Amino acid sequence: MSRTTRARAKLVRKFKENIFGNPKFDRILAKKPYPPGAHGKKMRRRLSDYGQQLEEKQKLRLMYDLSEKQFHTLYLLARKTQAATGEKLLQLLESRLDTVVYRSGFAPTLAAPSTTRKSTLPLTGLKSARSSACPAKAKKSPK
């Protein structure tokens, strides 16, 4: 799985919101409240409805450090259920192993791969090398 290697401060400035939750980015936003790039200080045009939806999707995707394919797979799973698609998508995102590890305080950031991708956490008795594993659905295989 690939990780986001872009400058996170630029992403925060692009969205004008601290999507990673690090206090360092709050200071950067206070110092430079405009988007990055040569034309960042100039006025921006108003986004269309589609542009706003795309920006929100990109925020979620970058916040949880997912590739486009992984995000699309989760979206299709959420769409199959009878519940509201947006709520189910957030539920699926929050049930990933890397998110559970971060929320429980074992990882310093949401995108901390070392705790989830190197089989260091036993998942109900089994080792898991995938950060996309869902702890609620993990079952022991019969031996």
At position 127, the amino acid (one-letter code) is K
User: How many residues appear in the chain?
Assistant: 143
pTM: 0.73
Question: Which has the closest alpha carbon to 134: 82, 73, 84?
Answer: 73
Give the H or E element holding residue 60.
helix 49-63
- What gap in Å lies between CA 56 and CA 78, rounded to an integer? 17
Q: What digits encode the pLDDT tens for the residues 60-111? A: 888 888 889 989 999 999 999 898 999 999 999 888 877 777 777 777 666 6
Q: What digits encode the pLDDT tens for the residues 7-20? A: 888 888 888 888 88
> CB of 86 within 8 A of CB of 98?
no
- Integer angstrom CA distances of residue 98 from 54, 106, 127: 24, 10, 14
Q: Where are the domains of the chain?
A: 1-41
Question: Which has the closest alpha carbon to 123: 113, 115, 136, 135?
Answer: 135
> CB of 110 within 8 A of CB of 65?
yes
